[in-house]
């Protein structure tokens, strides 16, 4: 099953072909805007439930969150025919991992502040605000990751 190694011109043509295929792939990977909006709203809805100060309500709110995330994943696969985790595959893995670490640190900080304000200091609606901030940033982060991932694919191998 081994053949002769290609000539330099053939190898160059094959590399160019691979780059062209990646550019075509990049075109199909971008999710519609409502995908990121829905993602952000799901997180917002779940985090806002903390404001009701009922554990059972927060647990119940996890059901639409998890169901919604599974549905979003299925819809993305259906639309694009692909699934990818930019932290593990593709051209921008380290950049995305670094951004995710920063976002997670910010997420925990905003969550802690919102939760403390709502639960400890009884600032009603603090978790709604925290949920809005985190939902918005999650949606924007999702968009940004796709943008740099696609740009990386278009930039070639």
Partner 1 sequence: MTTVAPQFDGVIHPSPRLQICGLLAAVDSMEFAAVRDTVGVSDSVLSKHVKQLEEAGYVKVGKATIASRQRTSLSLTKPGRAAFAAHVAELRRITGALGG
Given the rule CB under 8 A, which residues bind partner 1? 1-3, 5-9, 11-12, 14-15, 17-18, 21-22, 24-25, 28-29, 74, 77, 80-85, 88-91, 153, 157
Shortest Å distance, C-beta 41 to partner 1: 24
88/121 with CB nearer partner 1: 88
91/135 with CB nearer partner 1: 91
Shortest Å distance, C-beta 27 to partner 1: 10
Nearest to 144 by CA among 109, 110, 102, 116: 102
Between vectors from CA 130 to CA 125 and to CA 131, what angle results, nearest 5°?
A: 95
Burial class (CB in 10 A: 0-12, 13-18, 19+), 111: middle
- Residue the block writes with tokens 């999702």: 142
Shortest Å distance, C-beta 22 to partner 1: 6
């Amino acid at each position: 099953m081994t053949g002769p190694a290609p000539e330099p011109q053939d190898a160059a043509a094959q590399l160019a072909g691979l780059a062209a295929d990646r550019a075509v792939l990049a075109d199909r990977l971008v999710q519609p805007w409502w995908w990121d909006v829905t993602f952000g709203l799901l997180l917002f809805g779940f985090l806002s439930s903390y404001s009701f100060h009922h554990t059972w309500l927060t647990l119940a709110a996890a059901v639409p969150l998890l169901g919604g995330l599974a549905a979003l994943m299925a819809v993305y696969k259906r639309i694009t025919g692909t699934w990818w985790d930019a932290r593990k595959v593709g051209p921008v893995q380290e950049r995305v991992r670094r951004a995710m670490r920063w976002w997670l640190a910010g997420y925990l900080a905003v969550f802690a502040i919102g939760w403390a304000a709502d639960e400890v200091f009884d600032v009603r609606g603090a978790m709604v605000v925290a949920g809005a901030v985190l939902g918005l940033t999650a949606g924007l982060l999702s968009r940004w990751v796709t943008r740099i991932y696609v740009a990386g694919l278009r930039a070639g191998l």
